[in-house]
Structure 1
């Protein structure tokens, strides 16, 4: 008896996204190594934690595919981009990666919708929400660096930014979660 509850096309697309999430983990790991090597251990720690979060996203896709009777396919990862030249380039790349990932998630949602695979469509809503957080977090990185002075930031500003990001929560504060008591 065939127990697969995913179409071949959706199974392939979900596997591809699992590999995208693994690549994202790879990229964050690479950026964290770069930041630590540059002396930004707090920023490196922040990026290492984010690398683990991206890996966990890949595991979510893997488990979902398996739970729906499919078999995920792991592919080789391409090398991460060359090291950024500075923190601005690093944070800009983080934002770019997150926007590209959001577009891939939206494509999966469209496929699930077109196939009327409501279980997969529902599963993907978690990732839609997650990408809002991811993009917000990336924009926050860019904003905090701008406030610190951007590429012309003083050593003291960069020290404080590094310290802050080393201890910062991994989740972004979202405007939709604001209340009058907690703006």
Structure 2
């Protein structure tokens, strides 16, 4: 059985994951409008991944006898700037998400809920990859410069 406190915190994270999904979708629309179809495709896949995280967390809460809830999702920005600015924001956002997941692990630890700690460690590990991927894209865009930006766009469009 999951505690009320942990259930509330995970439900808050579910809402945050859905906000992240909307953020990436909004970024995708912006990049598509700017003519970067590959980056838009990458961001749309990222949006779906965040939605999947929300669903995975909801299923977990339900399995533990709790109630999964999705709260109001705040409006996301619609203008983001250059491809570099977009992916710098992606990196910064993933760092914030990492902090949120770390805080959830701390709550699970304080609640002495080892099953939830174990469940959340999967997200901790994934965030290491998410941050590294975003930082790598930022570096790639910086190195490519204006002349190579469409190469980067093409490479990001290859994401499965």
Please give the range of the TM-score, normalised by the shorter of the 2 chains: over 0.9
TM-score by length of 2: 0.97
Give runs of aligned pairs for residues 99-114 of structure 1, distance below 5 A.
99-114=95-110
SS in 2 for 1:17: helix
SS in 1 for 2:157: helix
The runs of 4+ residues in structure 1 deviating greater than 4 Å are: none
In structure 1, runs of 5+ residues without a counterpart are: 170-183
Please report the RMSD computed on the Cα atoms of aligned residues, expressed in angstroms: 0.9
CA drift of 1:41 comes to 0.3
Match of 2:157 among 153, 166, 177: 166
CA drift of 1:87 comes to 1.1
Count how many residue pairs are aligned between Structure 1 and Structure 2.
160
Work out whether 1:62 is the aligned partner of 2:58: yes
CA drift of 1:168 comes to 3.4
Whichever structure has more helix as a proportion of its residues is: 2
CA drift of 1:98 comes to 0.4
Match of 2:128 among 104, 129, 132: 132
TM-score by length of 1: 0.85
Aligned to 1:48: 44
CA distance in 1, matches of 2:113, 2:152: 44
Larger of the two Rg values belongs to structure: 1
